[in-house]
Structure 1
Amino acid sequence: MNYQRYIDWADDRIVDDSRKVVLAFLVVTLVFSAGLGNISTNAGTQQFTTGLPAEEAFDQVNTEFSPAFSADTGSTQLIQEESNVLSRPAMLRMLRTQESLEEHDGLRVTSTSSAAAIVARELNANATTTEAQIRTVERATDSEIDAAVRRAADDPQFTALLSNDFNRKSASASATIGVVTHELPAGLSSGSGQGGTSPLTDIQRQAEFTVEATGQGSITVFGSGILADEFSNVVADSLILTVPAAILFILFFLAIAYRDLADMALGLGALFMAIVWTFGFMGLAGIPFSQMLIAVPPLLLAVGIDFGIHAVNRYREERDGGTDIGQSMRVTTDQLLVAFGIVTGTTVIGFLANLSSDLPPIRDFGYVAAVGIIFTFLIFGVFLPAAKVELDRLREEYPIPTFSQNPLGSEGSRLSGVLRGGVVIAERAPVAFLLVTLVVTAGAGVYATDISTSFSQDDFLPPEDNPDWIESLPEPFAPSEYTVTGTTNFLEERFTTTQGGGVTVYVEGPMRQDDALEQIYRAGDDPPESFVREDGRAKSSSIVTVVRDRAERDPQFRALVSRNDHNDNGVPDDDLGEIYDYLLSSSSRDAALNYITEDYRSARITYEVEADAGDGEVTSDARDVADRFRFEATATGSTVVFQAVSDVIFESAIVSLAIALSGTAVFLVFIYWVIEGRASLGLVNIVPVVVTVALLAGTMRYLGIPLNAITGTMLALTIGLGVDYSVHVVHRFADEHHHHDLVTALDRTVRGTGGALLGSMLTTVFGIGVLALAVFPAIGQFGILTALSIIYAFFTSLLVLPSVLVLWHRATNVWPGLSGLPGFGRRRSPAPGDDD
């Protein structure tokens, strides 16, 4: 395949039509900039769960059994913490808070509920309004209130609203939750409100202000709207913290790498264009900006900085030899367009491997990053060289200040002596060194097999307490005031049954069938280890619980149950339609509809689980219990959904790694066969990448960094980024080896390309490493791991790759037909000094 004519055509456009090329790219930049205003944001955990069976079942449960979560309603939690929330003053504070929210027309309150309201109704069954409940509690004596609490303790709904330390005997608890239900404007439940927030967010922020104004200091307002608001704030705050720091580091290291103000301005302008093109494309394509995509700008900077430094440094090498502007740039682009093309192809393969994920944000990330890398290739492969040609031609006509134009790692410099360390090893003991490398790589790979996976809201939220230095930052760098992490931690610690401490089994089937309730009852026999046991059975709540509770209090219903209970276990197994009809026509209607739908076609059972049980164990046990039903049953609940996402993340990481590695290998083998006639160079190119991936995976386990929604892409990305370094070394070596012997080719490669790689490595490591400053953990971990992957890729390319190339050289000269594939071992004419 004669690819050179395409390269020559591009060379001609860059050198002969440089001004037209620059203008064309500036026009395209203006076009893409129009899309910047269309970018929306998408934050939180919900974006990762779309389409999972457990999540779809969870949505069904919320829709069918919890009206507060229906399409046009929303709920707000009132979290109260006191020495005893069941004391008269504490309950009055809760009830008065409910009343103040009900009276606020803008909050669209349709109902409120709380443990205090239930106690008031125990004291006076006619106290159906909040105002009447306040009067009832005010008039009751302490002993009457305590007695009412003990009676209410029989109601699962009452105890579910109280913290785990509820003591029935002393009628006390340290925390409770009240629930406020809001009616949202029809069709706007998921739309945008003021400032791009949801209507529920606006309502809950207003509710916060109302509660604070009433002086109820022991009560905190919390809800999904506030959670979503803080998810979005985390994105903005992370960008405000990381982008300026990244700019400072990049400017510093680019100043060292370019050592010329005008050249550095060109490099920065090209980086800016790459960002504008990529995010403008997102806006035009309607792709929302999520936490995952915070990593895209640093990745584009990493590749763009690398391309820019290589282009300028290679051009300077030619100019340093006395060649004119046009010829120097032709030689530069003739070589680097091929290298950049290889890097772009392999990097795009690494990013597109994420399209294999079942999680939409990871797919979006892979897609946007791949498009961004293609844009970066065009800008730094075509625009930057053309702009450099124009700049240097203007320098010949006008007194534009010019500083150092010497290439990095020029012969005789101290840096060149350091960079050739890998060549020294390759000359003296390549086999021994590669054997040690093999042992280290295998050990790191085996060690990494126990790397953990996770998925939780904590990955997207800042720590409960930010470091003091972050809190002391001035505006506009000071982060928002975050309360959600502390609140969610509090709920998880105090309210096991309400915050994911239990699991739900969603059952679909003809619930009028005679054995329907028996199936629910028998599923609790011989409970698995992670389930809480009560009298030898799984502790659960279901329609069976409602039936038994009603039977204890209602003689007429008890007789009905007894007539239809053929095995005398308290669970009816005949005429179930009549049983349900009775419940739905009684005061137990609301309790029954918590566990069975009005059409008697589906039901839910909630099981309590041990506090110290792992999510994986709980999920596995819940699925085992669901399998006990003859009806279609699905294990769900937040624990199960998050574990399902965690499993998908792990699967995605492994699949994308396999796709990226195999795809990259095939691509490199093909491309080196086309351009060099030596397909085996493609396999050589992969060796340092494999070492880098193994080292990074082992580091993740050692540092305790799990594969989560953000870091789960790292293994595939390491291939995409790491191959960048090895491609530059191998391609430069192949080019030099056409004209020089083995050692000279290696020397010239590590001095020229190695110097550019060092500048690129330092700039991108610090530029991406600043993601560690992000105010939520997962992006910080991503920044650390990306920086480490680049460091590993740099050192393996300069230390490991020379020894691999020496062995490759020996092998292809001894076995010219190596591996029998087309192009493997096809020999060039020997260079002077080659020792065959």
Structure 2
Amino acid sequence: MSRVDAATDRVADLVVDRPGAIVAAFLLVTLLFAAGLGNVSTEAGTEQFTEDSPAQVAFDRVNRDFQPTFEPDEGTTQLIHRSRNVLAREELLRMLRTLERIEDRETLRVASIASPARTVARTLDPNATGLEAEVRAVEGATEREVDRAVRRAAESPGFTASLSEDFNARSASASASITVVRHRIPAGLEATAGAGGTSPLTDIQLRTERVVEAGGGDVIVFGAGILSEEFSTIIGDSLLIVVPAAVVLILVFLVAAYRDLVDLLLGLVSLAMALVWTIGFLGLADIAFSQLLIAVPPLLLAVGIDFGIHTINRYREERVTGTGIEASMRVAARQLLVAFGIVTATTVIGFSSNVTSGLAPIREFGIVAAVGITFTFLIFGVFLPAAKVFADRVVARTPIPQFSQRPLAQEGSALGAILPVGVAVARRAPVVFLLLVAALTAGTGYYGTGVDTSFSDEDFLPPEETAGFLDELPEPFAPGEYTVTGTTNYLEENFAAAEDDTVVLYVEGPMRRNDALEAIQRANRDPPDSFVTENREARSESILGVIRAHQERSDSFRRLVARNDPDGDGIPERNLERVYEVLLDSESGDQARRFITEDYRSTRVVYTVEADAEQAEITADAREQADRFRFEATATGATVVFQDIADTILASALRSLVIAFALTAVFLVVVYQLLAGRPSLGVVNLVPIAVTLGLIAGSMRFFGVPFNALTATILSITLGLGIDYSAHIVHRFVDEFEARAAVLPAIDATVKGTGGALTGSMLTTTAGTGVLVLAITPVLGQFGLLTALSVFYSYLTAIVVTPSALVVWGRLTGADLHASRRGFVHAVRPDSTD
């Protein structure tokens, strides 16, 4: 007896001999994991994906060192003021009084406020310092004086940049403005992290919303905290819609699969335990529940449903022959523990391969999914059989009614007549069929190489208008009102700064060197194709532009530059430290600090790029532009960061697939050598999986689903779940072949015996995971579609393709001939190989 057989025998004996103790022990462990449920926090948004990106690190340094007015910032809140004319006297007063209330709230930790309303007030009264004085300045001015002040303020690019594109200087009108409030985040705290998904910035911005609402008018509070809060809300709302729908569909199919109240309850309790253990593990391990981890519960349900149906169905196959409770479960447990072990190990390999990803959320997904699948194996491999024995003993002694105990796809049933279609093909033309399947796999796989890769905030945001059926849902299932997408679209449509596509070059080097500014100017000539050009120079914002602009406003500064500009091109080449010092101390100092640091060790250059250029093209051109700089330059900005993540996502998906496929192949070869002395059966086990992977890749391109933060895991998931179906077929074939000593009869018995359980599992899992298409965010819907397709393809290939693969295997290895003479096990010598 092998060590595997000995181990499964011991577990099977324990299940049959001490079911009550096992049930009690598992329930106790469930209580322990339940204690972790209250510690589960949430994490949402794109920050979790970008934090390890070199481009994001550079972008964070740019935002920290140069304090750009409208760049995303952890301590920044935007107030978007909308009105018929936000520059009218009454609207300016409304905004200034609202800002007074915001500044007066200590809890809002206001550090500074930049607002068009304040600019107009200070233009009216240059001596006005503080919001109270600015309010008095506007109150004391007439509408005509306010209009003149607006026209004077419009001479500053910073003022017009904070107004909507319909700003008209002559009429002193604009339909919207942006006010930026900066907050002091408490020392030692992360602005985007906190228990339960809250953060200091989120709390500040939610409080700011309440203050703004009290002031009246159409003012939207927008910022990273609000975005994070809405991401978290979407997670909750999606789960509230998806989970009940999944439960209803799963319940319907489980009723059809089990057809017995006691078995149904045992299956549901086991599923609930798997979820409690896994989610409780998140709380105990201090892993935040992110949008990516929404995929884990459906995966656990998929594997748990499969294990549950197989356990009950295999047990019933023995019971209908008149075998007793203990003997039936002993046979079922011994066989299924091995099958479940194979499925669990290969699934864990598939999910664990994600730990090689360069993205932390994908690594966490791989770890949590692997742990959850292991928990599922323990619960359905040990607890459910023990609970079934315990329950059947109780039922035998009580008048509790039992309903149908027939196994699925029993001989003579409609399903039993349909399932052997793959066997019929294998009997007539297995080689031709496999060649056609290989051609189909190659074709769909090649077609799938054109799948796009994407990463953006929009992947996680709900559509601006949710689907109509969601609005009809009753409470508490009705989704909330989501504003972030609408606000983002409004900004893009109405503000030029939000509409322009830009990339940022973070340049590090001694900016005091005489040729430092000339180097920036030279790099701007003949830029890459995606950069917007003017007179063959890249359209850009840099310290050069600030120097030129200040020369026009200051005669003394113009003379300083002229003295240090030997070639007379307006760019100083000498005494640069003095030039910077005077510039930073001038009225243009704030603008200059957006482009150069106080120590003159780094600068940033912002390039405008073509709005219709592809993200990948922009990123490649930005890096090419960075290489032109004599100093060390890093390309960054939102476009570059997101493309960097998109590239990492694709690389992670492919690397995880290769690693998972290779490790799974090795594992299966070793396992079937140990179990049956036939390592080549491990290769047979992989044939339907390879077909499924080709089909899913082609389906992604056909349905327009890109590799994104969530679907990047679909290849390893396909491998993990796909093994589930083919492993059941191949492992059952081993047992049937040993008993029948002929390939085709063994395949026929296998498909009819385990095909019914596979069908029930497929229908239930496809429905349970497919309901993710109801989720509010598109990325979850795409993931649900692909997971459901993966399960369906895995089932179809296992039932239809595996029989032909086994027939060809029997011919190539001569197993059929040897087995018919000597029996399957005895046909293999101890030292033989395939």
How do residues 75-474 of structure 1 correspond to structure 2 at under 5 angstroms?
75-137=76-138, 148-149=149-150, 151-166=152-167, 172-190=173-191, 197-217=198-218, 219-474=219-474
Letter of the structure 2 residue corresponding to residue 117 of structure 1: R
Shift of 1:21: 1.7
State TM-score, norm by structure 1.
Answer: 0.94
Partner residue, 1:724: 724
1:58-104 superposed Cα distances (whole Å, 9 cap, x missing partner): 11111112288999982211112345544555544443433343344
Contact 2:68 2:594 in 1 (8 A): no
Question: Which deviations, in whole Å up to 9, do the C-alpha atoms of 1:25-67 show, x marking residues without a partner?
Answer: 1222222222222211111110001221100011111111228
> Cα gap change, 1:502/1:160 in structure 2, threshold over 3 Å: closer, same or farther?
farther
CA-to-partner distance for each residue in 1:647-693, whole Å, 9 max, x for gaps? Answer: 11111111111111111111111111111111111111111111111
Return the offset for 1:283.
1.4
Q: Secondary structure at the residue paired with 1:450?
A: coil
CA contact (8 A) 1:507 1:632 kept: yes
Match of 1:414, as an amino acid?
A
Aligned letter for 1:50? E
Q: Runs of 5+ in structure 1 lacking a partner?
A: 818-824, 832-836
Cα shift readout 1:615-674 (whole Å, capped 9, x = no counterpart): 212211111111111111111111111111111111111111111111111111111111
Tell me by how many angstroms 1:492 deviates: 2.6
In the TM superposition, what whole-angstrom CA distance separates every residue of 1:523-564 from its partner, at most 9, and x where no partner exists?
221122222223432222111111111111111111111111
Shift of 1:466: 0.9
Shift of residue 160, structure 1, vs aligned partner: 2.6
Q: Is the 8 A contact 1:500 1:639 kept in 2?
A: no
Range with bigger deviation, 615-624 or 760-769: 615-624
Residues 667-746 of structure 1: matches in 2 within 5 Å? 667-740=667-740, 741-746=742-747
Mark the runs of 5 or more structure 2 residues left unpaired by the alignment: 829-834
Q: Are 2:42 and 2:196, in contact at CA under 8 Å, matched by a contact in 1?
A: no
CA distance in 1: counterparts of 2:817 and 2:407, whole angstroms: 36
Answer yes or no: is 1:567 the counterpart of 2:574.
no
Equivalent position of 2:509 in the other structure: 509
Q: Please name the residue that 1:526 is paired with.
A: 526
Report the CA distance shift for 1:539/1:170 in structure 2 as closer, same or farther (over 3 A).
farther
Query: Which residue is equivalent to 1:766?
Result: 767
Give the match's secondary structure for 2:724. helix
Change (3 A) 1:525 1:83: farther
Q: Distance in 2 between matches of 1:159 and 1:502?
A: 18
The Cα shift of 1:438 comes to: 1.6
2:738–2:823: 8 Å Cα contact kept in structure 1?
Answer: no
In 2, are the aligned partners of 1:678 and 1:826 still within 8 Å (CA)? no
Which letter does structure 1 place at the counterpart of 2:117? A
Higher alpha-carbon deviation: 296-305 or 808-817: 808-817
Cα pair 2:661 2:719 within 8 Å, conserved:
yes
What's 2:831 paired with? none
2-structure distance, mates of 1:205, 1:724: 47
Distance 1:61 1:562 in 2: 30
Secondary structure of the residue aligned to 1:477 is coil
Q: Post-superposition shift, 1:802?
A: 0.9
Q: Is the 8 A contact 1:505 1:636 kept in 2?
A: yes
Q: Cα gap change, 1:73/1:187 in structure 2, threshold over 3 Å: closer, same or farther?
A: farther
Offset, 1:568: 1.8
The 8 Å contact of residues 257 and 408 in structure 1, kept in 2 or not, is answered as yes
Aligned to 2:550: 550
The 1:530/1:159 distance shift into structure 2, 3 A limit, reads farther
Q: Which amino acid aligns with 1:757?
A: L
The answer to whether the 8 A contact 1:201-1:229 is kept is yes
SS of residue paired to 2:739: coil
Separation of aligned partners in 2, 1:663 and 1:500: 47
Tell me whether 627-636 or 534-543 shows the greater mean CA deviation: 534-543
- Which residue of structure 2 aligns with residue 619 of structure 1? 619
1:157, 1:299 → 2: CA distance? 51
| Matched position secondary structure for 1:222 | strand
Is the contact between residue 197 and residue 232 of structure 2 (CA under 8 Å) also seen in structure 1?
no
Tell me the secondary structure at the aligned position of residue 8 of structure 2.
helix
Alignment CA distance shift 1:608-1:62 (3 Å): same
CA separation in 2, counterparts of 1:22 and 1:179? 59
In the alignment, the residues of structure 2 paired with residue 328 and residue 371 of structure 1 have an alpha-carbon distance, to the nearest angstrom, of 30
Matched residue, 2:832 = none
Q: Distance in 1 between matches of 2:170 and 2:652?
A: 51
Whole-Å Cα distance in 2 between the matches of residues 315 and 337 of structure 1?
Answer: 13
Question: C-alpha displacement at 1:709, in angstroms?
Answer: 0.4
What CA distance in whole angstroms lies between the structure 1 residues aligned with 2:278 and 2:74? 37
Q: How far off its partner does 1:342 sit?
A: 0.5
Aligned: 1:59 with 2:74 = no
Q: Provide the rounded CA distance (Å) in 1 between the counterparts of 2:602 and 2:774.
A: 48
Over aligned residues, Cα RMSD in angstroms? 2.5
C-alpha contact (below 8 Å) 1:729/1:753 kept by paired residues:
yes
Q: Contact 1:62–1:69 (CA<8 Å) still a contact in 2?
A: no
- Which range moved further: 495-504 or 37-46? 495-504
| Contact kept in structure 1, 2:72 and 2:224, CA below 8 Å | no
Kindly provide the CA deviation profile for residues 110-136 of structure 1, in whole angstroms up to 9, marking residues without a partner as x: 322123333444444334433444454
2:37 corresponding residue in structure 1: 36
Measured after TM superposition, the shift of residue 2 of structure 1 is 3.6
Structure 2 partner of 1:822: none
Judging changes above 3 Å, is the alpha-carbon distance between structure 1 residues 140 and 67 closer, same or farther for their aligned structure 2 residues? Answer: same
Structure 2 CA distance for aligned equivalents of residues 75 and 290 of structure 1: 24
CA positional deviation for 1:253: 0.7
Residue 12 of structure 1 corresponds to 13
Contact 2:500 2:611 in 1 (8 A): no
Deviates more, 1:116-125 or 1:762-771: 116-125
CA distance 1:627–1:108, change in 2 (3 Å): same
How many matched pairs? 823
Distance (Å, rounded) in 1 between the aligned partners of 2:173 and 2:268: 64
User: For residue 17 of structure 1, what is the amino acid of its counterpart?
Assistant: R
CA distance in 1, matches of 2:222, 2:192: 20
What is the distance in 1 between the residues matched to 2:325 and 2:196?
Answer: 52
Q: Give the letter aligned to residue 34 of structure 2.
A: S
Deviates more, 1:490-499 or 1:250-259: 490-499
- Following the alignment from structure 1 to structure 2, what is the Cα–Cα distance between the partners of residues 192 and 804? 52
Q: Provide the C-alpha distance between the structure 1 equivalents of 2:405 and 2:253, rounded to a whole number of angstroms.
A: 16
Report which stretch shifted further, 181-190 or 654-663: 181-190
Partner of 2:666 in structure 1? 666
Please give the TM-score of this superposition, normalised by the length of structure 2: 0.94
Q: Does 1:749 align with 2:750?
A: yes
Counterpart AA for 1:673? Q
Distance 2:265 2:623 in 1: 59
Give the whole-Å Cα distance in 1 for the aligned partners of 2:65 and 2:288.
30
Contact 1:253 1:759 in 2 (8 A): yes
Matches of 2:280 and 2:136, distance apart in 1? 60
1:516 deviation in Å? 1.4
Q: Distance in 1 between matches of 2:233 and 2:620?
A: 35
Change (3 A) 1:257 1:362: same
> Structure 2 vs 1, CA of residues 409 and 500 (structure 1 numbering), >3 Å: closer, same or farther?
farther
Q: Is the 8 A contact 2:74 2:224 kept in 1?
A: no
For the pair 1:778 / 2:801, whether they are aligned, the reply is no
Aligned in 2, Cα 1:656/1:165: closer, same or farther, shift over 3 Å? farther
Identity of aligned residues (%): 58
Are 1:160 and 1:497, in contact at CA under 8 Å, matched by a contact in 2?
yes
Q: Give the counterpart letter for 2:377 in structure 1.
A: F
AA of the residue aligned to 2:788 = A
Cα pair 2:250 2:764 within 8 Å, conserved: yes
Report the equivalent of 1:834: none
Cα 1:687/1:615, change in 2 over 3 Å: same
Counterpart-to-counterpart distance in 2, 1:465 and 1:717: 31
Matched ranges for 1:618-637 at <5 A:
618-637=618-637
User: 1:329-365: CA deviations, max 9, x gaps?
Assistant: 1111111111101000110011011111011110000
